[in-house]
Chain A
Amino acid sequence: MSTTDLPTPVLRGAAPAHAPAGTGHLRGTRSFPAEARDALQDTQLRRNLGKATGVIRAKRQAVVDEVPDWEELRLAGSAIKADVMARLPELLEQLEANVVARGGTVHWARDAEEANATVLRLVREAGADEVVKVKSMATQETGLNEALEAGGVAALETDLAELIVQLGHDRPSHILVPAIHRNRAEIREIFLREMPDVDPDLTDEPRRLAMAARAHLRRKFLSAKVAVSGANFAVADSGTLSVVESEGNGRMCLTLPETLITVMGVEKVVPTWFDLEVFLQLLPRSSTGERMNPYTSTWTGVTPGDGPQAFHLVLMDNGRSGVLADPDGRAALHCIRCSACLNVCPVYERAGGHAYGSVYPGPIGAVLSPLLTGISGEDDPNASLPYASSLCGACFDACPVRIDIPNLLVQQRAASVESHRRPTGQDVAMRAARVAMTSPGRFTAAEKAMSLGRVLGGRSGRITALPWPASRWTASRDVPAPPKETAREWFARTRPGQER
């Protein structure tokens, strides 16, 4: 084959890509139903989650209700994000130029592995064997802590919840409050076990626990040479980065070390400084349910005499180009990681975040994770995520940037179905149903066959057990036996000639 037959000049490397398997935390090992079955049995988890999501739902509702232009802000937020997607490469180049002009260095990463390797190299170049970290979804996604550890660098999480997760040798289960599955008694136990200098008389009072974390981290903050952060927003027209936080651990990391490395998914860029006026209103109220979070830091490159004198920005693809190439799916890249959809989701509230396998749980995770990784077939755990929803729609109402998550769930279910390498039982059933439902004659015949089920109902007219897969229904619910007469039969009998 001669090279002139190839459809050049499109290079293979220029094709939008999914996040490669093998690095990072975008996929679990078991399907959602299997994980959820176990999680639902954990009474402590159920209680912790129910309490915490209830509290935050009420807080969010109260502060959203007091904003008279909330819907206008949502519309603006949604439109700004759609605009970003439509000119993402140009905005990133503009961002890069402005960061460089202000003394920063910009690195690009095709995937998680490349992002991790870049950070490790930069840490080593800075002569450090320890970094302090601001809570960041991007570096959780890439599994940066494990990669640094493998490279001989200790990564210290400084957000309280992330610290609880790290000390507990646990996994985060929520975007905003990663230790939401833990209660105060469990946290006390973890601290007593894992913090070297902790007061042995530590109680489970949240204030005492927070003060223990302060004492534990303070020396580290004051001596750290390198910090690693994510970014909530990056402003293309000024080169400004922004981190939104509560505890001040973010400020410590962004201000005190000599070197700051920020890892950011490419979708976090916004066009102008004034676009932040929308997101700085939408994010805190949706996220922690506060009018404003305690601290928001913004910085642009390097400022002589203030803060880190070396700033590195790592711009990461890791599957985002693949999502951007999907006309429906790209809306998932609008997500600002507020986690409001998790807190209102009845499925998340009961099954918890670990059941989703990925660092992105809840409704947005159920679409974002399979969009980022692609779905490799019917056995892919991420193939089950789009089904982890009753499509109740509460997530759309809560989303500050109006991501139509129910629609994305349906679209990703289609992607899941289309990934099947061989017909599943569900495929066969759906095909049969399609055949019946496109012909009135066949539909009536199917109804007749079903009405034989009357015999199952016996005298009570109620069916309490059916064979698989309907047994999944009758495990917890009765079924009425089919009626003697369908609605259409009744109408034809009682109103002859009046059907149309």
Chain B
Amino acid sequence: MRIAVMTTCLGDAVVPQAVRATVELLERLGHDVVLPPGQTCCGQMHVNTGYLREAVPVVRHSVDVFGPVADGDWDAVVAPSGSCTGCVRHQHAMVARRAGDERLASRAEAVAARTYELSELLVDVLGVTDVGAYYPHRVTYHPTCHSLRMLRVGDKPLQLLRAVRGIELVELPDAEVCCGFGGTFALKNADTSTAMLADKMSAVLATGAEVCSASDSSCLLHIGGGLGRLRTGVRTVHLAEILASTDGSGAAVAAPSRAQSGPAPDVEQEAPL
């Protein structure tokens, strides 16, 4: 299959390891991977903050960049993000229609019909649950709200994780409860967001896992940012990274990325601002 990867703006600029893992995983499974260079952002930040008019050109740009999938040039678009996939599938056409652009709306629907979140692509489209991964760690999985309730991915990520060799998968208590990220919610309602994060961290810590995984880098940034601040010794790793990890890749036993939430370093430098 010829599959285009939607890096997502966050995945491109802040946490590229999830995108790299997605590319490597799909190539290992024998697919042609393209990464459209003109891509920027799906527009979710604008939409979910209420900037529906500002979102129109962003949506149009995204629909243009990924338009080839609607023309059959690619077989699918995949995003290592439940919320970005959710925005493409449930919000792009709404934004276009609200602005009275029916042509953009139907083009957006055609693109959305072939845009998948990673676990959907693997399980539903490619029909694979055992991707040949090896990951010898104790892992708990946070299902993320948009994967769960916007895309209804169900237990597909868990099916994939259960097939990983060496993994010790532990159930997350109250897994379906929001971690408190919510995009600009984390800034606009920082106090409530932090209160929600505290409960999510308690649940993660109760599992005794060393790794908390999810399919949304944004939620992981939030949870990992909290776990790191408190020096909990739990790190966050995107599902794609676990699935991309193999016996020989080294990733399986490598030290956790310090950029996420590794053990406390010897010197902590405050920002000079």
A contacting B, Cβ–Cβ less than 8 Å: yes
Q: Which residues of B contact A490 (CB under 8 A)?
A: 16, 19-20
For chain B, the count of residues having a C-beta within 8 Å of the partner chain is: 88
Asked if B181 CB lies within 8 Å of chain A CBs, one says: yes
A390 touches B193 (CB 8 A): yes
A413 touches B49 (CB 8 A): yes
**A 471-484 to B, binary, CB cutoff 8 A, 1 in contact else 0:** 01101111111110
B49 touches A430 (CB 8 A): yes
Q: Which residues of A contact B193 (CB under 8 A)?
A: 390
Q: Name B228's contact: one of A459, A462, A473, A486 (CB within 8 Å).
A: A462
Interface residue ranges of A420-470 to B (CB < 8 Å): 426, 430-431, 433-434, 436-440, 443, 447, 450-451, 456-467, 469-470
**B 39-76 to A, binary, CB cutoff 8 A, 1 in contact else 0:** 11101011111111111011011000000100000000
Interface residue ranges of B225-267 to A (CB < 8 Å): 225-226, 228-229, 257-261, 265, 267
Q: Smallest CB–CB gap between B37 and chain A, Å?
A: 5
Asked if B31 CB lies within 8 Å of chain A CBs, one says: no
Q: Which residues of B contact A450 (CB under 8 A)?
A: 13
B178 touches A394 (CB 8 A): yes
Chain A: interface secondary structure?
A: helix
Complex: A476 Cα to B199 Cα, angstroms: 13
Asked if A346 CB lies within 8 Å of chain B CBs, one says: yes
Complex: A216 Cα to B225 Cα, angstroms: 53
A482 touches B36 (CB 8 A): no
Q: Which residues of B contact A491 (CB under 8 A)?
A: 19, 23, 35
With CB as the reference atom, state the residue of chain A lying closest to B266: A459
Asked if A187 CB lies within 8 Å of chain B CBs, one says: no
Q: Which residues of A contact B181 (CB under 8 A)?
A: 390
User: Given known contacts A436-B40, A447-B13, A479-B225, is B192 in contact with A469 (CB within 8 Å)?
Assistant: no
A461 touches B149 (CB 8 A): no
Q: Which residues of A contact B187 (CB under 8 A)?
A: 469-470, 472-473
Interface residue ranges of B164-213 to A (CB < 8 Å): 176-178, 180-197, 199
With CB as the reference atom, state the residue of chain B lying closest to A355: B192
B259 touches A487 (CB 8 A): no
A459 touches B194 (CB 8 A): no
Complex: A344 Cα to B175 Cα, angstroms: 13
B178 touches A486 (CB 8 A): no
B189 touches A459 (CB 8 A): no
Complex: A147 Cα to B192 Cα, angstroms: 35
Complex: A463 Cα to B14 Cα, angstroms: 12
Q: Smallest CB–CB gap between B27 and chain A, Å?
A: 9
Q: Which residues of B contact A439 (CB under 8 A)?
A: 40, 61
Most chain A CB neighbours (cut-off 10 Å) among B37, B57, B259: B259
Asked if B38 CB lies within 8 Å of chain A CBs, one says: yes
A486 touches B13 (CB 8 A): yes
Q: Which residues of A contact B43 (CB under 8 A)?
A: 437
A346 touches B177 (CB 8 A): yes
Q: Smallest CB–CB gap between B148 and chain A, Å?
A: 8
Q: Which residues of B contact A430 (CB under 8 A)?
A: 45-46, 49, 51, 54
Q: Which residues of A contact B195 (CB under 8 A)?
A: 40, 350
Q: Which residues of A contact B4 (CB under 8 A)?
A: 500
B20 touches A390 (CB 8 A): no
B51 touches A464 (CB 8 A): no
Interface residue ranges of B72-105 to A (CB < 8 Å): 91, 94
Asked if A150 CB lies within 8 Å of chain B CBs, one says: no
Q: Name A482's contact: one of B14, B17, B226 (CB within 8 Å).
A: B14
User: Given known contacts A458-B269, A487-B19, is B150 in contact with A393 (CB within 8 Å)?
Assistant: yes
B192 touches A350 (CB 8 A): yes
A485 touches B182 (CB 8 A): no
Q: Which residues of A contact B33 (CB under 8 A)?
A: 498
B50 touches A413 (CB 8 A): yes
A473 touches B186 (CB 8 A): yes
B192 touches A36 (CB 8 A): yes
**A 240-265 to B, binary, CB cutoff 8 A, 1 in contact else 0:** 00000000000000000000000000
Report 13 cross-chain contacts, Cβ distance below 8 Å, ordered by A residue.
Answer: A346-B177, A390-B181, A390-B183, A433-B45, A434-B54, A460-B265, A476-B226, A477-B197, A478-B225, A482-B13, A486-B13, A488-B35, A500-B37
A interface vs B, CB < 8 Å? Answer: 32-33, 36-37, 40, 346-347, 350-351, 386-394, 396-397, 407, 410, 412-417, 426, 430-431, 433-434, 436-440, 443, 447, 450-451, 456-467, 469-470, 472-473, 475-483, 485-488, 490-492, 495, 498-500
Given A414-B51, A462-B268, 14 more A-B residue pairs with CB atoms under 8 Å apart are A40-B191, A40-B195, A351-B192, A390-B178, A393-B149, A430-B54, A434-B51, A438-B60, A440-B40, A447-B12, A480-B14, A498-B33, A499-B37, A500-B4
B interface vs A, CB < 8 Å? Answer: 4, 7, 9, 11-17, 19-20, 23, 33-41, 43, 45-55, 57-58, 60-61, 68, 91, 94, 145-146, 148-150, 176-178, 180-197, 199, 221-222, 224-226, 228-229, 257-261, 265, 267-273
